[in-house]
Structure 1
Amino acid sequence: MKIAGLKGHMAMLGANIMWGFMSPVSKMVLVGSVVTPLILTDMRIIGATFLFWFASLFTKHEHVSHTDMMKLFFASLLGIVFNQGSFLFGVSLTSPIDASIVTTSTPILTMVIAAIYLKEPVTGKKVMGIFLGASGALLLILSGQQVSNGNGSNIWGDLLCLLAQLSFSLYIVLYKGLISRYSPVTLMKWMFTYSSICIIPFSYSHILATDWENLNYPVLGGIAFVVLGGTFISYLLVPIGQRILRPTVASMYNYIQPIIASIVTIWWGMDTFNILKIVAVILVFTGVFLVTRSRSRAQMEADKKMQQ
């Protein structure tokens, strides 16, 4: 594997490891009901905005054209606002297990969109890889399923969670070209700035009404991780993987999240390890490997020229 390809894989792996930690850490932060899901989302977006602007002081200044600034606005809507906002409200309406299951649709949606928009081939190896990865993720999620306290399934909640995955898949495919033109810091600085402008008018009163004085140190530490690790670092890594890897390959790392979440919950004594989880992990990594080994459009076109 070439150094550039390895860099892309490590970037997407790192980002999804951070997002895998997000589930148990966020649950810990939200347990006391002082911080609501809406407030936590606001803190992620606004906190990351300040961090990216601070980071930009130590990086080379890049001029972004007016056309690309408009593209970054729509990219921020798909990659951050609609993705995080739809998932937030979706989870509030449906069960956590349904929301987790819906997230496994991201690589499938990405493959379909990439096939339509980028003319990426839908190969048998790619389909098999996505099937194995999804099977492993679903097995992992279902093996850890617990009875919810009256929080049952809701079709509108499920559809909102699906919309969140669709918006992120569109972002990965449609803005691959834009991502390659600027540094991750420049890209995220403007995307999170646009996202903050979009959310603050709808949540300003909730921020003021939050009882900040009742937050203890573990909760503050959890919030710090959500902002720094689960948002700033992860969104810094995603553009690196996005510009190097094919969209379907990049989205396959989504299946790493339930593995990391399971490891953390077992470590914290919230779950137990069993044979199903071992099988699930094997399926996920086998699926990721198959998709990374599938042939791209460029490779197939090169093969045709060789045969002519």
Structure 2
Amino acid sequence: MDRYKLKGHSAVFMANVIFGLGVPVTKLLLDNWVTPMGYIATRSLGAAIIFWIVQCFAPKEKVMTKDLIVILLGGLLGFVVSQTLTSFSLYYTSPFYYSLVAAMTPVAVMLLAAVFIKERITPRSVIGVLLALFGGMLMIFASKANLNGGSNDLLGIFLAILSLLTWAVYLIVTRKISAKYSPVTQMKWVFLISALVTVPFAMKDFSANRLYTSEVAWDGIIGMTFIVVFATVLGYFLIPMAMKYLKATTVSVYTNLQTVVAAFVAMAIGQDILTWDKPIAGILILVGAYIVTTRNDDSNSSPVKK
């Protein structure tokens, strides 16, 4: 594996580890401190402020108008729409059904990439994606007995499918843009549009967000700081970096790693126990990612020229 691929794999691996760590933190925040819209708006506004401050010290890049439109639309799809659908999906259905749908992300990305950007599907890619998919589903099915249904599973599953598709489309439509501009340039616009869209909606139920009242405590502040700085700013900084060097299908394969990381975090804090399926699932996901991307004809072994 050359240094460009290694850089891409390292970026997407770290991003999904961070996203996985954010799962139990998000649960804590939603259960105790913020509403779903308050959560998303805080992430958007916090990330926008940080990225616009950072860009003051970064090399300036002129973004073409047509590329800016793609970045803005990508931000709406990949963050606002996808994250909002995820929140409401989990409100209506159980984590089991949501995780089952989310585990299909690599398959959706592979098929959509083949249709829209002509990414070639090879038998090796199919094997790698299926291994990663099996790894994610293995742990989900193994823990099914401990999960309860939601208030409206059909609606929740439908919203989860929409969330999956919006994330898949985001990875595909921003693939070429990611190769042209730095992550800071892209993300400052992504989170600016996200904040402009979400903050007005969150203001309607501002009083319901205990994080912004006199009841606030340090665990809420620390939790939201982690989500904004790491699970949003750093995580979404790393994804476009990875897409400079890897195919959209490859990036999506790592999505199932979030499930494994979240499970091990839950075990570490006493919310879950170690079972036989968890380490096997992690190995299958990593092996699947390796198989998908170790092809002799992989054209993404070096940066795409601007």
Same fold (TM over 0.5): yes
Residues 95, 151 of structure 1: 8 Å contact kept: yes
- 8 Å contact kept, 2:40–2:198: no
Deviation at 1:208, TM superposition (A): 4.6
What's the counterpart of residue 10 of structure 2? 10
**1:191 pairs with 2:190:** yes
SS of corresponding position for 1:58: coil
Judge which range, 205-214 or 273-282, deviates more: 205-214
Query: Contact 1:120/1:297 (CA < 8 Å) preserved in 2?
Result: no
Give yes or no for contact 1:81–1:195 (8 Å, CA) kept in 2: yes
- Paired residue for 1:26? 26
Call closer, same or farther: CA 1:20–1:183 in 2, change over 3 Å.
Answer: same
Aligned residues with identical type, % of pairs = 31
Distance 1:187 1:209 in 2: 32
Aligned to 1:305: none
2:132–2:285 contact (8 Å) kept in structure 1 = yes
Q: What do residues 121-155 of structure 1 show as CA deviations (whole Å, max 9, x unaligned)?
A: 21111111111111111112233346456635511
What residue is the counterpart of 2:130 in the other structure?
131
Q: Contact 1:134–1:255 (CA<8 Å) still a contact in 2? A: yes
SS in 1 for 2:244: helix
Distance in 1 separating the partners of 2:65 and 2:120: 33
Counting only pairs closer than 5 Å after superposition, residues 191-270 of structure 1 correspond to structure 2 as 191-211=190-210, 212=212, 213-270=214-271
User: How far off its partner does 1:236 sit?
Assistant: 0.7
Q: Which runs of 5+ in 1 are unaligned?
A: 300-308
Question: Any conservation in 2 of the 1:130–1:252 contact (CA below 8 Å)?
Answer: yes
CA deviations on 1:78-136 (whole Å, 9 max, x unpaired) are 21111111111211111121111111111111100111122222111111111111111
> Are 1:275 and 2:276 counterparts?
yes
Q: CA RMSD in A?
A: 1.8
1:203-227 Cα deviation digits (max 9, x unpaired): 2212354332212111211111111
Match of 1:288 in 2: 289
Match of 2:304 in 1: none
* Aligned-residue offset at 1:17: 0.5
Alignment: residue pair count: 298
Between stretches 8-17 and 211-220, larger displacement belongs to: 211-220
After superposing the two structures, state which structure 1 stretch, 72-81 or 250-259, moved more.
72-81
In the alignment, does 2:55 pair up with 1:91?
A: no
Q: Secondary structure at the match of 1:237?
A: helix
Partner of 1:35: 34
Q: 8 Å contact 2:128–2:287 — kept in the other structure? A: yes
Residues 42-65 of structure 1: per-residue CA shift (max 9 Å, x gap):
111111111111111111122222
- Partner residue in 2 for 1:304: none
Map residues 93-172 of structure 1 onto 2, 5 A cutoff.
Answer: 93-145=92-144, 147-148=146-147, 151-152=150-151, 154-172=153-171
Cα distance per residue 1:195-250 (max 9 Å; x no partner): 11112232221235433221211121111111111000001111100111011111
Cα deviation for residue 298 of structure 1 reads: 4.5
Q: Deviations over 1:248-286 (max 9, x none)?
A: 111111011011111111111111112222222222222
* Secondary structure at 1:269 match in 2: coil
CA contact (8 A) 1:110 1:173 kept: yes
What amino acid does structure 1 have at the position aligned with 2:218? Y
Counterpart of 1:278 in 2: which secondary structure? helix
AA in 1 matched with 2:289: V
SS at match of 1:214: coil
Distance in 2, Cα, partners of 1:64 & 1:261: 37
Which residue does the alignment assign to 2:178? 179
Instruction: Give the distance between the partners of 1:146 and 1:219, measured in 2 at CA.
Output: 31
Q: TM-score, normalised by structure 2?
A: 0.92
Give the whole-Å Cα distance in 2 for the aligned partners of 1:17 and 1:218: 21
Whether 1:77 and 2:76 are equivalent positions in the alignment is: yes
Query: Any gaps of 5 or more consecutive residues in structure 2?
Result: 301-306
Amino acid in the other structure paired with 1:210: N
Q: Distance in 2 between matches of 1:226 and 1:294?
A: 35
Equivalent residue of 2:172, what SS? Answer: helix
